[in-house]
Chain A
Amino acid sequence: MFVYLAIMLFLPVAAMLTKSLTIGPAEFWRIATSPLALSTYDVTFTTSLIAALIDGIFGLLIAWVLVRYDFPLKKLVDASIDLPFALPTAVAGLTLATVYSEKGWIGSLLASLGIKIAFTRLGVGIAMMFISLPFVVRTVQPVLMQMEQETEEAAWSMGASSWQTFWRVLLPPLFPAVLTGVALGFSRAVGEYGSTVIISSNTPFKDLIAPILIFQRLEQYDYAGATVIGMVLLIVSLMMLLVINFIQVWGKRYD
């Protein structure tokens, strides 16, 4: 088991670390903060964050509707939430690019309003929303199931409005779960490649994201360039793991 782990996981990580060490700090910093690299961080991280936050709001709503209300085909809707986990990302990218293109089912409606989605940053955002949605729903759902409806009913019967009940009674215990879901979705979106490479036009300084820049650097046999940007992404993913662990510990205070 340790041998497998060593060959499959430690060795590759070590190879990347040593490669980045041979580059030297000055050169590393120069590549990591080159204007093109900076613009890809901006596109990657800002878009991922916005996509994850939108998923946070709608994911909470979807989880709420699935746990608390009854409606036709609810079981089917519930099962379909995992679709982004099961559907290969290349397929997701392909179909999103079609549907949101200027001739697509949804894209053509928006095109008449002058909004272009496919092959812009908006498209990248939609792809990121697609792949990170299940993270939010699936983290919030079990917490919501465990919460007792009696607490809300008590708040109501004591005269709280629905709004107050939501903000004061419902949201506080749900908040860590939503935050965990958003963080998980964010880190997934940051690393996403398959769907984003297809829906993006991959234009530098416009909608080129960091994983695609790594890929392009590798295609040009620029291993140093690829490694540096790869390290930046790796560090961000490790930080996100820490943040997620921290949120979970912090959320336990409600247990």
Chain B
Amino acid sequence: MTDRLKSLTAKSNLPFPSIVQSRSWVQIILISIALLFLSLVLYIPAINVFYQAFHKGLGPFLHNLSEPNFQYAIKMTVGLAAIAVPLNTVFGLCTAWALARKRFPGRTLLLSIIDLPFAISPVVAGLMIVLLYGRNGWFGPFLQERGIQIVFAFPAMMLATAFVSMPFVAREVIPVLEEEGFDQEEAAYTLGANSWQTFWRVTVPNIRWGLLYGILLTNARAMGEFGAVSVVSGNIAGKTQSLPLFVEEAYKGYETEAAYSAAVLLALLAVVTLVLKEILERRVKC
């Protein structure tokens, strides 16, 4: 912008230099304000996570890593994601395909409904699950008779995780599917491929980057979810405690070091997510 103006002024001797000067000053000031705001809200807190975790060296981190409750929380978080992510991927793919390819009554409504889990507060989502499967809930008596525990146990945590991370895949895949259009799929059909073959050989390769992007976001949310899981888990250390819950409990129990050891793992997950996101975004654009 400035360069273009400068070349203009050089050619035509218009009284632009003063404007150029003031513009660049405005630029510097605006950039500084933006960076200052970002530092205060994002960067300093983000750096602080790593500083707090490692300022005494790797020792405390490795020590905390060997704690059984900590290890259990890691397993729990990985386990939750390992179930919720594939579930939501399959669901997201089916929904996206149905919404992009088929015309049926209530289609627009469904399009807004799949976004609902984003609009609903995670705590309210957790509350719903308690009202459904809890002791006084709809299925409470039925489950109790059979001795099945859902609330305050892994199944409810899984349901909560799947609930909050539900829309990501569908949301990322729908626009890609709509852009691709039917042509290639129809071509495959006329060449004699069945729907299964068409789906795996034509549709999936076409949407793979969008799909991966959706899976990435689903995973980040599933591993990091706190509110909904917290409501339904009962937060029992070593039993129903995922990594984000461990962070909170350690902090409230004045075990700041343990809290930051767990936090730094989650922060690393966030960094990896952002890096992969950046790579995938470039692929999607190509």
Contact = CB atoms under 8 A, between A and B. Distances in A.
A47 interface: no
Interface in A28-77: 58, 61-62, 64-65, 68-69, 71, 77
Cβ-closest 9 pairs across A and B: A191-B121, A88-B224, A194-B226, A12-B128, A193-B227, A86-B270, A90-B244, A211-B123, A1-B94
B91 A88 contact: no
B119 A240 contact: yes
A214 B124 contact: yes
B85 interface: no
Interface string A204-236: 000000011011001000010011001001100
Interface string B273-285: 1100110000000
B58 interface: no
B244 A88 contact: yes
Given A13-B128, A99-B45, A194-B230, 9 more contacts: A5-B95, A58-B33, A61-B37, A88-B266, A99-B44, A126-B41, A130-B42, A211-B227, A233-B124
A193 B121 contact: yes
A95 B40 contact: no
> Chain A: interface residue count, which band?
35 or more
Among A64, A77, A81, A83, chain B packs the most CB atoms within 10 A around the CB of A83
B18 interface: no
B34 A61 contact: yes
Interface of A: 1, 4-5, 8-9, 11-13, 15-16, 18-19, 58, 61-62, 64-65, 68-69, 71, 77, 79-99, 104-106, 126, 129-130, 133, 149, 162, 187, 190-194, 197-198, 211-212, 214-215, 218, 223, 226-227, 230, 233-234, 237-238, 240-241, 245
Please report whether the interface of chain A is mostly helix, strand, loop or mixed according to DSSP.
helix
Contacts, number: 230
Please report whether the interface of chain B is mostly helix, strand, loop or mixed according to DSSP.
helix
A102 B58 CA distance: 26
B130 interface: yes
A66 to B, nearest CB: 8
Nearest to B87: A4
